[in-house]
Amino acid sequence: MHPLAVQHLSALIEFRHWLDGSHLAEVLSLYEPYGEEEREAVIRRDAAFLPEPLASLTRYFVLGDKLAEEQLDSHLPAAIRETIACLGLDFARHRLIRHLDLWIFCERLTPAVDLYHGDDSSGLSRLMLPGRGRSLDLCAGVGAQGLLCARTAESVVAVEKQEKARLFFWLNAVVNGMHDRVEFRQGDFVDAVAGERFDHIVCNPPLLPVPRDRPLVPLVRPHHCFVSGAYFAPDQPAAEIKRL
């Protein structure tokens, strides 16, 4: 686990309990059918009609609006604010979303985004069968697919090339109560699990921009293997994954 997640494990578990009681989940679940481009605009429009403190919490965590100190003091417990500061979360750059009933912290969508969640993340998750046995999440990023697998799998190995994703992966694992069922490995695609076998594999590799009317379809679906990305040549990650 990331050292910061270990250091603040109890505080993150309290953060999870606070989030679950904040009613943010009920608000965000209403907007899951929207695409990323439209969702933020619709939430911003509707936030004006939400009661406090829900309106301010939505603006802060979801939309990245800066709140006055007195609003933060009023709406966020001191322990939660301290945890946010210690983890380096900055909601001008980061955001909180719901991903099929999971809490996911990630970066805001910009051309330079690294800690990514987008429409393809949601699309792949809706195509996947439930995780089973020993599951593998390749190109795991902040953990959206791997944590979804962890709901039903015995264990999940998540592989991600970017070291900076490690903290957000573990943050998301803890705030969803799944940190005891997942393992994060930094590595380049299948090299981190060479020679190992898995019962269920998912992969959401980095994608290139494509026309908006291009459908999201899985490249390969042998047994329990789901790969997002009609934007890759089929042999690109599929041949590597089939060896696992």
In one-letter notation, the amino acid at residue 86 is C
Name residues whose C-beta falls within 8 Å of residue 154's C-beta, 6 or more positions apart in sequence.
132, 133, 134, 135, 181
Cβ atoms of 239 and 215 closer than 8 Å: no
DSSP state of 180: T
Which stretches of the chain score pLDDT less than 70? Answer: 207-244
pLDDT, tens digit (0-9, with 9 covering 90-100), for 160-186: 999 999 999 999 999 999 999 999 999
Q: Which two tokens stand for residue 165?
A: 């994703």
Q: Which two tokens stand for residue 158?
A: 């998540």
Domain covering 1-244 assigned CATH 1.10.3470 in the classification = no
Tell me, what's the pLDDT at 32?
87
Cβ atoms of 129 and 200 closer than 8 Å: yes
pTM: 0.85
* Cα–Cα distance measured from residue 75 to residue 56, given in angstroms and rounded to the nearest whole number: 8
- Burial code (b: 16+ CB inside 10 Å, e: under 16) for 67-76 equals beeebbeebb
